[in-house]
Amino acid sequence: MGDLIKKNLKGYKGEITYPEHHQSHAASAFFPGPFKEAAIITMDGVGEWATASWGVGKGNRIDLHSELLFPSSLGLLYTAFTYYIGFKVNNGEYKVMGLAPYGKPVYAQTILDNLIDLKEDGSFRLDMSYFNYCQGLTMTSDKFHELFGDLPRKPESSITQRDMNLAASVQAVTEEIVLRTARYVRRETGQRNLCLAGGVALNCVANGKILRERIFDDIWIQPAAGDAGGSLGAALFIWHQILGNQRDVDGVHDLQQGSYLGPGWSDSEIEKWLADAGYPYEKMDEADLFDTVSGGIAAGRVIGWYAGRMEFGPRALGNRSIIGDARSESMQSIINLKIKYRESFRPFAPSVLLEDLEEFFDTDKASPYMLLVTPVRTSHRRELSEEEEKLFGMEKLRIPRSDIPAITHVDYSSRLQTVSAADNPRYHGLISSFKKKTGYGIVINTSFNVRGEPIVCTPQDAYLCFMRTEMDILALGNCFLKKEEQPHLEPADEHHSEKRKIPEVKSRAELRKFGLIMAGAFAVLCVLLYFRNSTLPPPAAGLSGFFLLSALLYPGLLFPIEKLWMKLASVMSYIMTRVLLTLVYILAVIPTGLIMRLLGKRPLQLGFAEEVKTYWVDVDPEGPCSRPEKQY
């Protein structure tokens, strides 16, 4: 691995370090955070063999204390339900979280009674007979489908109340596991603050619960809590823990720089690109731009807002965002269906001025990275009539529940971002301008992309996304673009033009090589047969001669033979690869497994152990975590 890294980082002669997966998550949670010392919890699908870990960070050091081991994984349990509810594995988990408030957790007890043995300290084991991710290509097994009474929902088929109840159930179990773990880690470490990372830390509903239960005085969550953040964690781990550089924190302000760590384009670069492409735009000073754009938002327009450096992590935080009016009843459906082309149930998140946070929400905790879910304040809620209260599932979606309905989820919750003038003065300026016009210092903020595509990075990405959707206005830096003034988008401007089919042509050199290989192979066959029968076999010798002469004199003659032969080769390869792999499984894997079982060696910890108090395993102080300079 070291050779590969050095080869690709041309000219790099330094050392290479290999922090463990959860060590990197833990580093990404603690080092950029605001605390001098804190407890750390990481939870995800799996990394190396760990699926969760906890420890303590102090000054410029982190130390992991315990971990949970594969295959018992909260991330994979959530993913199994994501798969069963018909969303994409490792992709649709946030949709399950969004769907949960529409359902009731009627299956939560079934999960706790059958699928999982959960201890008081949040550690657990899964009954692997309900899952198939260890040995198969699906997440769940037939036994799982029998338990819940149906096969997995087919993707894109309609979502039923049962799917919503399943989502609510796995969300409830997840929250229970996260809360028990948080309480246990608080007791064990005695720390007052908590840092979180790992994919499960993107479950902002569970994060909000930890905060509201007041288990810790304060929490900080790495905005790129998924594996992308591991790169940041690994770099900071080397900087602080290995190189010994000090960390300078004040207990309040973090070092993540608003997570605006990605690439950015200056106004002059954007202007040059627009002028070169010939797209009509109007250059404005900042005050005019804020005034015009906020006027557009208030008039019900949908805005593409592109400014400064791109966000690092899965959330758009006001530099690559689509913005709309949170007061509008129709905005949720408009943006979902006409701009993002995604399911209409998906709620939107608000960006609220930090100074107006308590005006709209039941919290005083700033959430600059959109990682906390908080209830909307009662004074902004709308009383539901008796008939409206009785509605189920998706029917709830059409009922406005507050005077900011586009960002109020069916359970009155909201995944909010607080915007401060210090973190993002430009975005703060825009929302302040909207507040001057309407009295509301809050807007819808959703990532600048369409479903299935990444968030836009360059001005060109932003322009193409703007033109392909029904967005009305695009602000690229200080350049203001109106949809109706733009020229029709030529197919040449599109990213993905149709692939042309290229006719198959073989060069003379390739055919000559083929002829020589065939001549050689038949010659070897001749020699082998000669030693066996003591006579030269005429067909093999003839074929060898034919290929040799053709290769040397007229390779073109070999074209149809080569085509036919290679087709035969690919069919044989297809069959033989499978036959050989099956043989390897039977002759090498099964006997090794049987011998290990006879010797009592079990590499995976399976089965429930009712008699033990915990499934947490101590991190070996002399194990891989202690030698990051070694790959293993």
List of residues contacting other proteins (CB under 8 A) = 1-4, 514, 517-518, 521, 525, 562, 565-566, 568-570, 572-573, 576-577, 579-581, 584, 587-589, 591-592, 595-596, 601, 630-632
Q: Are 139 and 83 in contact (CB under 8 A)?
A: yes
Minimum distance from residue 47 beta carbon to other proteins (Å): 16
Minimum distance from residue 579 beta carbon to other proteins (Å): 8
Q: Residue with structure tokens 């030693």? A: 531
Token code pair at residue 326: 């949170």
CA distance 346 to 102: 11
Minimum distance from residue 570 beta carbon to other proteins (Å): 8
Minimum distance from residue 575 beta carbon to other proteins (Å): 8
**Which helix or strand (DSSP H or E) is residue 219 part of?**
strand 218-221
DSSP-assigned letters across all residues of 414-437: EEEEEE-TTT-HHHHHHHHHHHHH
With vertex at residue 104, the alpha carbon angle to CA 410 and CA 186, rounded to the nearest 5 degrees, is 90
Nearer to other proteins, 450 or 617 (CB): 617
Nearer to other proteins, 398 or 563 (CB): 563
CA distance 592 to 597: 9
Minimum distance from residue 2 beta carbon to other proteins (Å): 8
CA distance 346 to 342: 8
Minimum distance from residue 583 beta carbon to other proteins (Å): 9
Question: Strand 218-221 relative to strand 124-126: parallel, antiparallel, unpaired?
Answer: unpaired
Nearer to other proteins, 580 or 612 (CB): 580
Which residues, at least 6 apart from 282, have a Cβ–Cβ distance to it below 8 Å? 479, 480, 481
CA distance 365 to 18: 36
Minimum distance from residue 408 beta carbon to other proteins (Å): 52
- DSSP label at residue 7: H
Nearer to other proteins, 67 or 176 (CB): 67
Nearer to other proteins, 10 or 495 (CB): 10
Nearer to other proteins, 9 or 612 (CB): 9
DSSP-assigned letters across all residues of 503-521: PP---HHHHHHHHHHHHHH
Minimum distance from residue 508 beta carbon to other proteins (Å): 16
Residue 138's SS3 state is coil
Residue 559: name the closest of 507, 501, 503, 502 by CA: 507
For residue 561, the one-letter residue type is I
Nearer to other proteins, 257 or 570 (CB): 570
Q: What number of residues does the chain have?
A: 632
Token code pair at residue 298: 């208030």
Nearer to other proteins, 275 or 566 (CB): 566
Nearer to other proteins, 549 or 583 (CB): 583
Minimum distance from residue 278 beta carbon to other proteins (Å): 46
Backbone angles phi, psi at 419, to 5 degrees: -115, 120
